[in-house]
Amino acid sequence: MPDRSPLFSRALGGAAASAAVLLATAACSPVVSVENADVPQWRATALPSDSQAVLEDSGKILNRNRIVQEAASVPAGDYTLTITCDGGGKAFFAVTLAGKELTEAGAACNGSRETAKITVPKTGRMEISASSVDAPLLYAYHLVPAG
């Protein structure tokens, strides 16, 4: 009976070489960068819009500059701020009412969602700023009445 070991070894060697080529090709494949990301498409799964949101935003933080969004008049009450980011590092969200800080929240930029409870003591102009020293990254947040 002929020995099939050399044939079997060559077949395994060919399979291993094919696997190595596939891995090398995958490693060289371009990864979508934050700069080229489709923010609305990312947000649709990362943190969909909420119809009750009194303030929300999403976008790209490409440098260390703060990105500020404001609402002219947010009613007094209890709210939940939900935040998420992606791209590595951490993002920070500062919430102010009429220029006075209410809270600051942070999120690890790994796609997880973080929440912070916020009490707005009186109706007023609110600002939420997003920033990071780990730019570039994607971010999204919304502020909704607690309930």
pLDDT value at residue 83: 98
SS3 (DSSP) at 99: coil
In a 3-state reduction of DSSP, which class is residue 35? helix
Q: What is the pTM of this model?
A: 0.77
CA 73 from centre of chain: 27
Q: Tokens 């060559």 label which residue?
A: 10
Q: How many Å apart are CA 4 and CA 2, to the nearest integer? A: 6
Which pLDDT band holds residue 13 (cuts at 50, 70, 90)? low
- Our measurement of the distance from residue 41's CA atom to the centroid of its chain's CA atoms, rounded to an integer in Å, reads 12
Q: What is the pLDDT of residues 136-145, one digit of tens each?
A: 999 999 999 9
Q: What are the pLDDT digits (tens) for 29-52?
A: 334 588 899 999 999 999 999 999
pLDDT, tens digit (0-9, with 9 covering 90-100), for 112-133: 999 999 999 999 999 999 999 9
Name the residue with tokens 């003591």. 121
pLDDT of residue 35: 87
